[in-house]
Amino acid sequence: MEKIAEKKHHAAQWFKELRDQFCSSFQKIDGGEFKRKKWNHKEEGGGEMSIMKGKVFEKVGVNISTVSGNFSEEYRSKIKGTENSPKYWASGISLVAHMKSPKIPAFHFNTRFLVTGESWFGGGADMTPTTVNKKDTKHFHDKMKEACSPYNKKYYPEFKKKCDEYFYLPHRKEARGEGGIFFDYLNTGHWGKDFSFVKGVGLRTLEAITEIVKLHKDLQWSDNEKEAQLIKRGRYVEFNLIWDRGTLFGLKTGDTISGSFKTGSDGSIDLTSITEGNYTGSYKLSATDTKKIINIIDVSEVLDLSTGLSKCVEPIVIYLSKAICSFEYP
């Protein structure tokens, strides 16, 4: 049986290898080049963001991190294995891809290995098209089934259900996209099999994305289709700001944030009397501003997804706003 140090090493090494495979495949399709930027965690470890703005991929980020530290007292009680110690170690990979063509869906993927007094894998993959293409949906879900079936016949239906429930906008009563799979706290007692499953999810996701992108990248689109894509991106950031577990996790471990959040049918976002730390203000993101959501490639740009801890020096609400549009302090 492998020791926990060896498991950590193998997991972190795999996430790095998978990052390189994603980047290499996407560069071959696009002709562009990823730019990388390292960052340091405020306790121990850090990560590296790889971002490409290309001809096919309007903006795609493939980010990895390996960090360790102590959970806050507030969140310690909500995490498994922290009864005797707040210490944690986490490594993972996160990908978000937004396309220039509205004919190609946006894709999200992440997998992680987290160690406290216990250890487990988590992650998943999902697809968000502008307009539903049933063949693409079937293609993507078939790949998820391929990843799940060799390990447990119940995995796909269970993880699909969790994904459908998670990526849902309650106030709009609509799903964010066409779903995929989502899993957490995966520890069957057979680490090697669990790790093999997680690797398979990554590889099948890579296949699904590259195959779907190649299928549609040369198709023409209309101005109306592009407009619909931009509005869809507004929904994407709406989910990340209001419902995303990683975002909420980070906000809960940092300063207290309060205020109201309203969204318009045209894609506008109105944040009123936002208070965070010593900052208080109100501002509105117009429908035009929310179309610039491509500038938020992933919450991992501002949060360490492994722990949910903020990587921002300034208030995270302001940071996110600046990333969406040309924000000016009131």
242 by Cβ neighbours in 10 Å (0-12 / 13-18 / 19+) ranks as middle
Annotate 184-199 with DSSP letters as a single string: EEE--S-HHHHHHHHH
Q: Is 141 a catalytic residue?
A: no
Task: Quote the percentage of the chain above a pLDDT of 70.
Answer: 67
* Domain boundaries, given as residue ranges, for the chain: 4-324
pTM comes to 0.75
Give residue 283's pLDDT band: very low, low, confident or very high (50, 70, 90): very low
For 9-41, give one letter per residue: b (16+ CB within 10 A) or e: ebbbebbeebbeebbeebbebbeeebeeeeeeb
Contacts made by residues 134-142, CB under 8 angstroms, sequence distance 24+? 136/105, 136/178, 136/212, 136/215, 136/216, 137/178, 139/208, 139/211, 139/212, 140/105, 140/178, 140/180, 140/208, 140/212, 141/178, 141/179, 141/180
CATH code of the domain occupying 4-324:
3.40.1500.10
**C-alpha separations of 45 from 12, 193, 311 in Å:** 12, 27, 13
The larger pLDDT score, comparing residue 50 to residue 281, is at: 50
**Mind listing the pLDDT tens digit for each residue in 110-136?**
999 999 999 999 999 999 998 899 999
Q: Where are the alpha helices (DSSP H) in 243-302?
A: 245-253, 287-290
How does DSSP classify residue 139? H
Pairwise CA distance, residues 197 & 60, whole Å:
25
Does residue 292 carry a pLDDT above 70? no
Decide: 35 and 140 in contact? Cβ < 8 Å: no
Catalytic residue among 41, 98, 108, 216: 108
Pairwise CA distance, residues 52 & 70, whole Å:
33
**Mind listing the pLDDT tens digit for each residue in 221-275?**
998 888 777 777 666 555 555 545 544 444 443 333 334 444 455 544 444 443 3
